[in-house]
Chain A
Amino acid sequence: MKLAILSESPADEAALRVLVEGVLGHPFQFLPPAFRSRGWPSVAQVMPAVIRHLHFGTDATGLVVVVDSDDSVVHTAEHDRPEYFHPQCRLCQLRAIFRQTVKRLPPAHGREHLLRCIGVAVPAIEAWYLCGRDDRVRESAWIEGQARGVPPYTRAELKQRVYGTDRPSLPYEIDCALREVARHRPDTRRLEYDFPGFAALAADLRRWRQGN
């Protein structure tokens, strides 16, 4: 299985590689080069081109995309109803972009289309790193905070808790990310339970596994 990853930074990518392997239960082949976006909405802008490139120019099996939700509307079970689409939900938006892009592509490299694997870290990937360490950090707490108009924590606070500073160096950020996701790798159920944005990614991956 050859996978490409579209992420915002080398640290995010390092963490995703471990988490994807944890969900799949086996190593996968990473397809270089690493694709980078400049955050939202750049990821939505480059994704169709990345999909077309992977579809026609490589034998990649699938594309893994993870973005931070920041202050956007968080995906909920309601959004998963048939034909439902929330225009301010990043998961809904990325899934729609993926769907619209692949449906126009003819089969190539012996496959119908590229497999989709999309996750959203709420509000940022550092929240995933704190899962299991700090019970207050969970997607439901963020949604409740949004509803009250008082977020339970800020992105800067999450960074501070994970890295001890909100200005970590990239190597240190990667070290911390790998240390934290190593806890989740053997069993991602807690991360999936606390963070449905990660569960969405895991569900996509499992669909692939069942299909192969």
Chain B
Amino acid sequence: MIASIQFRRFKVLRSAGLQLEPFNLIIGPNGSGKTSLIQAILKLHALAGLPVPAAAESAKTPHGPELIFHFTPPHAAVEARLSCVSELVCDHLQVKSPKAAEWETVKAELAGTRVYLFDHYAMAAAAPRANGVELAANGANLAAVLAARRARDPAAYAVWEAEALRLLPDYSRIELRDKPGDAVELALGLREENEIVPADGLSQGTLYLLALLALAYDPAPPSILCIEEVDRGIHPRRLREVRDMLYRLSYPAAYGLSHAPTQVIATTHSPYLLDQFRDHPEEIVIAQKSGRSATFERLIDRPDLDELLREGSLGDMWFAGLLGGVPDEEISAPPAKEGNHRPG
């Protein structure tokens, strides 16, 4: 797992650092570095799979953006330093590792990184059955992934399906229908009527919930999961279940599972999702934007946290501006033509 990241001149993260936990919920205004954080991890994931440059070449670190990664024990001595010649070209990786085998282990973990931003239009389309190994970054192959899991382990699939139908009580069954070209399409059967709703007739939130659930019940879960706008399209009353799905990955032992924990890094703009983490403020990271640069702050580090928690919900405190992580608002008189005018 990644223990920390130092950012230098990387997009809005000009001089910032972040210690990562097994579970991390990142909140903050638009343009405060939430996506940049995920992009940094994605860059490391991509470069870690390539051969590390020779030492002499590595020494030529350009004075551009730089990212420094450290890892959790037993790999705390490993450092990965990623240098970029520009924000777009970021392909220079230096690794300090006491033993080559240690970096190989870290590299293997990084290979299991997955980044998601679901696209319900893509998810609603039929997917080739052959693409069912791993859920795609936009969730487009959800039907194929489910079909492959059902074929491989019907009992585990039945557990997943039961949980999906608990979350979606309007439906009584999930169908994976054959489509031309050896493709498969997702459809849900309505509980009250003998009617099947194809994926393109399902709501955005329904598809996102199913995709999240597919991740949470993945028999080979990712080592690091980054997920953007994890609450998107989902009703506030369902956000407890969203939290549960993510915790299932981050804290498998709490769910009676024996697989290795997934490090989760999720972003949100939902105060309601934030409310779900009242008991674990150490899992909340606030992206603070100041002008054209941003930094990260852990909620647990606030000296007045106990007082804040006594006063109200985390979501309300955030919206009110007490936690930071809110957009700058320039208050000025509107131009005469565009302003509201008092009648008469």
A and B co-occur in one complex: yes
Complex partner residue of A170 from B240, B310, B312, CB under 8 angstroms = B240
Whether B91 is near chain A, meaning CB under 8 Å from some CB there, is no
Give A contacts to B, CB under 8 Å: 9, 36, 38-42, 70-72, 155-156, 159, 164-171
Q: Is the CB of A168 within 8 A of B254?
A: yes
Residue of A nearest to B307 (CB): A71
Report the nearest A residue to B253, measured CB to CB.
Answer: A165
- Contact between B312 and A169, CB atoms less than 8 A apart: no
CB distance from B249 to the nearest CB of A (A): 11
Q: Which residues in B have some Cβ–Cβ distance to A below 8 Å?
A: 166, 237, 240-241, 244, 247-248, 251, 253-255, 272, 275, 278-280, 306, 309-313, 315-316
Q: Among A36, A39, A170, point to the contact of B313 (Cβ < 8 A).
A: A39
Cβ B312 vs Cβ A41 within 8 A: yes
> If A166-B279, A168-B254 touch, does A38 touch B310 (CB 8 Å cutoff)?
no
A165 to B247, CA, bound (A): 11
| B272 / chain A contacts, CB cutoff of 8 Å | 38
The docked-state distance in angstroms from the alpha carbon of A169 to that of B118 is 24
Q: When the two chains form their complex, are residues B251 and A167 in contact, meaning their CB atoms are under 8 A apart?
A: yes
Q: Is A9 within 8 A of B240, CB to CB? A: yes
Known pairs A71-B310, A166-B280, A169-B247; list 5 more (Cβ under 8 Å). A42-B312, A156-B279, A159-B279, A169-B244, A170-B241
Provide 14 A-B residue pairs closer than 8 Å at the C-beta atoms, listed in order of the A residue: A9-B240, A38-B275, A38-B315, A38-B316, A39-B278, A41-B311, A42-B313, A42-B316, A71-B306, A71-B310, A165-B251, A165-B254, A166-B280, A169-B244
- Whole-angstrom distance between the Cβ of B314 and the nearest chain A Cβ: 9
Residue of A nearest to B244 (CB): A169
Chain A residues whose CB sits within 8 angstroms of the CB of B306 once the complex forms: 71
Which residues of chain A have C-beta atoms less than 8 A from B253's C-beta? 165
How far, in Å, is A47 (CB) from chain B's closest CB?
15
- A71-B311 Cα distance, complex, nearest whole Å: 10
Expressed in whole angstroms, the Cα–Cα distance for A168 and B254 within the complex equals: 7
Determine whether the beta carbon of B279 is less than 8 Å from that of A155: yes
CB distance from A154 to the nearest CB of B (A): 10
The CA of A38 and the CA of B237, in the complex, are separated in Å by: 10
CB-CB nearest in chain A for B251 = A167
How near does chain B come to A86, taking the closest CB pair, in angstroms? 16
Instruction: For B166, list chain A residues within 8 Å (CB).
Output: 171
**B237, closest chain A residue (CB):** A36
With A and B bound together, what is the CA distance between A95 and B332 in angstroms? Answer: 44
Query: Could you tell me the distance between the alpha carbons of A72 and B307 in the complex, rounded to whole angstroms?
Result: 11
Instruction: Check B240 against A39 for contact (C-beta < 8 Å).
Output: no
Query: In the bound complex, what is the Cα–Cα distance between A120 and B187 (angstroms)?
Result: 45
Cα(A40)–Cα(B313), bound, Å: 7
Bound Cα distance from A93 to B306, whole angstroms:
21
Given the complex of chains A and B, what is the CA–CA distance between A127 and B284 in angstroms?
A: 26
Closest chain-B Cβ to A177's Cβ sits at a distance in Å of 14
A159 to B254, CA, bound (A): 12
Contact residues in B for A40 (Cβ distance below 8 Å): 312
> Do the beta carbons of A72 and B316 come within 8 Å of each other?
no
A141-B235 Cα distance, complex, nearest whole Å? 39
Q: Which residues of A are found within 8 Å of B254, using beta-carbon distances?
A: 164-165, 167-168
Measured between alpha carbons, how far is A155 from B254 in the docked complex, in Å?
A: 17
Which residues of chain A come closer than 8 Å to B247, judged between CB atoms? 167, 169
Nearest residue (CB) in B for A38 is B313
CA separation between A155 and B310, bound complex, in Å? Answer: 13
Q: Which 6 A-B pairs have the closest CB atoms?
A: A165-B254, A169-B244, A38-B313, A167-B254, A167-B247, A38-B275
B310 with A70: CB separation less than 8 A: yes
Q: A170 near B244 (CB under 8 angstroms)?
A: yes
CB nearest neighbor in B for A168: B254
Chain B residues with CB under 8 A of A170:
240-241, 244
